[in-house]
Amino acid sequence: MNSRKYQKMVEEITPKENRLSNMFIAFFVGGMIGLIGTVLFINLNKIYNQELSISFMLLILIIVTALLTGLGISDSLFLKAKCGLIIPITGFAHSISSSLIDYKKEGYINMGSNAFKLAGSVLLYGIVSAIFFTLIKVILNV
- pLDDT one-digit tens code per residue, 79-96: 888 788 777 788 888 888
Residue 10 in domain? no
Q: What is the number of structural domains in the chain?
A: 1
- pLDDT one-digit tens code per residue, 26-78: 899 989 999 999 999 999 999 999 999 999 999 999 999 889 988 988 888 88
Residue 49 in domain? yes
Q: Which residue range(s) make up the domain with 124? A: 18-140
User: How far, in Å, are 66, 87, 125, 127 from residue 132 at the CA level?
Assistant: 31, 22, 10, 9
User: How far, in Å, are 8, 19, 22, 123 from residue 82 at the CA level?
Assistant: 27, 11, 7, 21
Residue 13 in domain? no
pLDDT at 1 over 70: no
Q: Residues 120-126: what's their mean pLDDT?
A: 82
Residue 61 in domain? yes
Within 10 Å of residue 76's Cβ, how many Cβ atoms?
10
Residue 109 in domain? yes
CA distance 124 to 116: 11
Per the CB < 8 A criterion, the answer to whether 88 and 33 are in contact is yes
